A = this chain, B = another copy of it.
Amino acid sequence: MSLKVAIAGVTGAVGQEFLTLLKERNFPATEYKMLASARSAGKNMEFLGKEYTIEELGENSFDGIDIALFSASGTVSKKYGPIAAEAGCVVVDNSSAFRMDPNTPLVVPEINPEAIKTNKGIIANPNCSTIIGIVPVWPLHKTNPVKRMVVSTYQAVSGAGWQAMEELKQQVQEVLDGKEPVPHTFKHSCAFNCFSHDSEIGENGYNVEEMKMLNETRKIFGDNNIQITTTCVRVPVFRTHCESINLQFTNPITPEEVRDILSKAPGVKIVDDRINNHFPMPSEASGQNDILVGRIRQDFSIANNCGINIFVAGDQIRKGAALNAIQIAELLV
């Protein structure tokens, strides 16, 4: 049985994580094709003991390919996603291009794996902050519907790519050396600073990242009644997004019930040690597949014990992007 896999955007942060995970998980591909922009085309790379020459992504890149993992810009996905689908391969697209398209399933394997079956050649991978927030919320929502979520994020700079990590390193060193850091990737210096998420801001005052968390969650949950309000913030962390999530449920719920449900939930690991003040942190979630969940507490500001607070940390390059896409590819296989 042959299984040919193309990786579009192989040189990026998520593209590189695709390779790590394909290897780690023994993905059953028989052949790989490494694709990138003209800038990287022609470069040689090694993967699983084999030499590859990176090819420039083009209209004929997908002939004979079975699965294409895309991690490029929305513009690239919009152009080449349909071409790849037309060529007969299934695209798992990490961009926002098709996420809200009614004909494209938007999938988190722990939540709505069945949606994969409805694909017409393209399956969308949700936004990183969406995935990290909802993997632990879904099993609770299934048991006791969540009426409203209030979310504040603590997002790593690497959500904006490799160069943002380099910039954080450089700016931090500049500050330590007594220099004024100069921002490039972001509008503001990220060294020892927090700032509102760098995505575009709409008429209603919400940035694109915040709107994604609302709209994508409703689509993935198949529930347009769930209310969600979000504030997305960048923090000087290399990798792993954290989220402070306040949940209002339909019926009463206790922290013990939450712990019980989450201890059996896939993709979730409880880190909730009050005695040692040990809770989810980027330093421990980075490089992990699971979303860490802790600070599980009753929210006493909501009547009848219908409120719960949690704090989560998830590697946004792994489960927030590459891992989720590869889990989708595994379901396709």
Query: Are A229 and B205 neighbours in the complex by a CB distance under 8 Å?
Result: no
Question: Given A233-B244, A238-B192, does the pair A301, B227 have CB atoms closer than 8 Å?
Answer: yes
Q: How big is the A interface, by class?
A: 35 or more
Query: Are B229 and A299 neighbours in the complex by a CB distance under 8 Å?
Result: yes
Question: Given A195-B279, A235-B236, A282-B192, does the pair A301, B169 have CB atoms closer than 8 Å?
Answer: no
Interface string of A283-311 (1 = CB under 8 A from B): 10000000000111111111000010101
Query: Are B294 and A229 neighbours in the complex by a CB distance under 8 Å?
Result: no
Query: Are A204 and B277 neighbours in the complex by a CB distance under 8 Å?
Result: no
Residues of B within 8 A of A236 (CB): 192, 235-237
Bound Cα distance A311, B152 (Å): 10
In the complex, the chain B residue whose C-beta lies closest to that of A230 is: B309
A201 is contacted by which of B176, B229, B277, B298 (Cβ under 8 Å)?
A: B277
Query: Are B300 and A204 neighbours in the complex by a CB distance under 8 Å?
Result: yes
Query: Are B193 and A307 neighbours in the complex by a CB distance under 8 Å?
Result: no
Query: A278 near B: Cβ within 8 Å?
Result: yes
A246 is contacted by which of B229, B297, B300 (Cβ under 8 Å)?
A: B229
A189 is contacted by which of B152, B154, B274, B283 (Cβ under 8 Å)?
A: B283
Query: A163 near B: Cβ within 8 Å?
Result: no
Residues of B within 8 A of A142 (CB): none
Bound Cα distance A206, B168 (Å): 32
Residues of B within 8 A of A281 (CB): 188, 193-195
Question: Given A169-B176, A188-B283, A246-B150, does the pair A196, B295 have CB atoms closer than 8 Å?
Answer: yes
Question: Given A233-B154, A274-B205, A307-B229, does the pair A294, B196 have CB atoms closer than 8 Å?
Answer: yes
Query: A113 near B: Cβ within 8 Å?
Result: no
Query: A145 near B: Cβ within 8 Å?
Result: no
Query: Are A278 and B194 neighbours in the complex by a CB distance under 8 Å?
Result: no
Residues of B within 8 A of A231 (CB): 152, 244, 246, 295, 309, 311
Interface string of A250-261 (1 = CB under 8 A from B): 000001000000
Query: A198 near B: Cβ within 8 Å?
Result: yes
Query: A172 near B: Cβ within 8 Å?
Result: yes
Other contacts beyond A194-B235, A204-B297: 17, CB < 8 A: A149-B301, A154-B235, A187-B277, A188-B283, A194-B282, A194-B313, A196-B294, A196-B311, A198-B277, A201-B277, A205-B255, A227-B301, A227-B302, A229-B300, A229-B301, A233-B244, A236-B237
Q: List 16 A-B contacts (CB under 8 A).
A: A148-B302, A152-B152, A152-B231, A172-B176, A192-B282, A192-B283, A195-B279, A196-B295, A201-B274, A201-B277, A204-B297, A205-B274, A227-B302, A229-B300, A229-B302, A231-B311
The 6 closest A-B pairs by CB, nearest first: A227-B301, A205-B297, A152-B152, A152-B244, A229-B301, A196-B279
Q: Which A residues fall within an 8 A CB radius of B?
A: 148-150, 152, 154, 168-169, 172-173, 176, 187-189, 192-196, 198, 201, 204-207, 227-229, 231, 233, 235-238, 242, 244, 246, 255, 274-279, 281-283, 294-302, 307, 309, 311, 313
